[in-house]
């Protein structure tokens, strides 16, 4: 067993999530250690010079070289099928580092309208200041993506499935469009994780993660990651090294341990979410349910083809607009009223006034964020208890 030359890439995902990336120290530890140190000591001035100069591999400073962070990066890279991973301090800093590394003033991004509100703000307000323009299109409309591309387009960016309407884009087709025009494709995969979707295998160039979500799985730590080829990731690493949006060793260790149960958790999340979506469809207070696992969802067949599950995030619209949505949310006694997701605890929020609250009314309308929309990230509690808690408000609204 110990002499088995089988590479980590050949292991099943469940095995990769538990064993990939760990290089044991001389202590021969079984569980991955945490290295809570800012710096590293050398045996001589010459050794220090070689490592600082890049002539010899080794740790230099935990802003960009830390063994615990490297274990997380190696493991996630194997699981996503990428050559390299660069960890960051948050999901937003993963997007920031990617764009800063690969785009310059005058370059353009084409992105889905169905993005997390902070991502839109980052693209419009902050990248806009740097002379990088973003055009937004309907996520599932491939013709719209192609029409929006110009000679200056360098990056296509999408979340699939989207937050919170569970819209899906054909990643393979979108990658073909991007590459035909000399652009890169980045996919935010934090909703599905490599347990349910592997965008790189479908042609994407980079995968973005908010590790805060399902990679952790218990709402304990904030972090992010970018996975892809060495060519692009070396530039992303340069931004992290120089600008400093680095992941802490402790948070990296939390994510390492979270990955160990990722496949089990995601299957259980999916089972609960689909059953809840089907129940919500039948409730008289619910006008519409957004979940790609439902057969009437416009991209259900596509989601079934390119995903190994439908995820845990769903949206549903209730009668009575904002007042109705707030009354349902406020009536809950067990669900957590919070904007976070990816937790074993079910969370509930009103996107129009929280996660997407900073979007203009026109941007909300374009993204399908109505005042009656509620987002639920379905956790791992008893499904009966989740339904009972939602029924407190829904039954009154009906």
Determine the average pLDDT of the residues in 107-122: 93
Provide the pLDDT confidence category of residue 398 given band limits of 50, 70 and 90. confident
Query: Domain 13-258 carries which CATH code?
Result: 3.40.640.10
- Report the mean per-residue pLDDT for the chain: 95
pLDDT digit string (tens) for 204-214?
A: 999 999 999 99
Spatial distance between the Cα atoms of 176 and 67, rounded to a whole number of angstroms: 37
Residue limits of CATH 3.40.640.10 in the chain: 13-258
* Interacting residues of 160 by C-beta distance below 8 A, sequence separation 6+: 112, 139, 167, 168, 169, 171, 187, 188, 197
Spatial distance between the Cα atoms of 165 and 245, rounded to a whole number of angstroms: 30
pLDDT digit string (tens) for 48-87?
A: 999 999 999 999 999 999 999 999 999 999 999 999 999 9
pLDDT at 4: 56
Tokens 């791992």: give the residue: 380
Residue limits of CATH 3.90.1150.10 in the chain: 262-395
DSSP 13-36: HHHHHHHTT----TT--SSPP---
Determine the average pLDDT of the residues in 306-333: 97
Residue 52: how many CB atoms within 10 A of its CB? 13
pLDDT digit string (tens) for 324-383?
A: 999 999 999 999 999 999 999 999 999 999 988 877 888 888 888 999 999 999 999 999
Q: What percent of the chain has pLDDT over 70?
A: 98
CATH level 3 topology of 262-395: 3.90.1150
pLDDT digit string (tens) for 155-175?
A: 999 999 998 889 999 999 999
pLDDT at 365: 84
Tokens of 30: 């079984």
Determine the average pLDDT of the residues in 241-247: 97
Determine the average pLDDT of the residues in 96-119: 95
């Amino acid at each position: 067993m110990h002499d088995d030359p089988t590479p980590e890439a050949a292991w099943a995902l469940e095995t990769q999530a538990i064993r990939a990336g760990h290089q044991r120290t001389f202590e021969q530890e079984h569980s991955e250690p945490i290295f809570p140190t800012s710096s590293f000591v050398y045996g001589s001035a010459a050794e220090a010079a070689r490592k600082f100069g890049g002539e010899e591999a080794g740790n230099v400073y935990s802003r960009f070289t830390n063994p615990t962070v490297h274990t997380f990066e190696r493991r996630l890279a194997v699981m996503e099928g990428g050559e390299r991973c660069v960890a960051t301090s948050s999901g937003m800093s993963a997007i920031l580092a990617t764009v800063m590394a690969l785009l310059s003033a005058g370059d353009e991004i084409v992105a889905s309208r169905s993005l997390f509100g902070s991502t839109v703000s980052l693209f419009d307000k902050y990248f806009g200041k740097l002379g990088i323009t973003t055009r937004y299109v309907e996520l599932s409309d491939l013709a719209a993506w192609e029409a929006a591309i110009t000679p200056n387009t360098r990056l296509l960016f999408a979340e699939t499935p989207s937050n919170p309407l569970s819209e899906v884009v054909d990643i393979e087709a979108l990658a073909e469009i991007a590459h035909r025009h000399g652009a890169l494709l980045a996919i935010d995969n934090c909703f599905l994780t490599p347990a349910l979707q592997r965008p790189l295998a479908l042609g994407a160039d980079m995968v973005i993660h908010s590790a805060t979500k399902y990679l952790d799985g218990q709402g304990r730590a904030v972090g992010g990651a970018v996975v892809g080829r060495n060519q692009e990731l070396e530039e992303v690493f340069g931004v992290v090294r120089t600008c400093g949006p680095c992941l802490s060793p402790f948070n990296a260790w939390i994510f390492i341990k979270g990955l160990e149960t990722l496949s089990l958790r995601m299957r259980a999340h999916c089972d609960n979410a689909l059953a809840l979506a089907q129940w919500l469809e039948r409730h008289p207070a619910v006008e519409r349910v957004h979940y790609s696992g439902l057969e009437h969802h416009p991209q259900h067949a596509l989601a079934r083809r390119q995903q190994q599950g439908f995820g845990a995030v769903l949206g549903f619209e209730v009668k009575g607009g904002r007042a109705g949505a707030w009354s349902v949310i406020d009536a809950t006694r067990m669900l957590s009223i919070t904007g976070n997701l990816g937790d074993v605890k079910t969370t509930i929020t009103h996107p129009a006034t929280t996660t997407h609250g900073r979007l203009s009314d026109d941007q909300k309308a374009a993204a399908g964020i109505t005042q009656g929309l509620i987002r639920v990230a379905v956790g791992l509690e008893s499904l009966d208890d989740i339904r009972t808690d939602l029924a407190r408000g829904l039954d009154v609204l009906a």
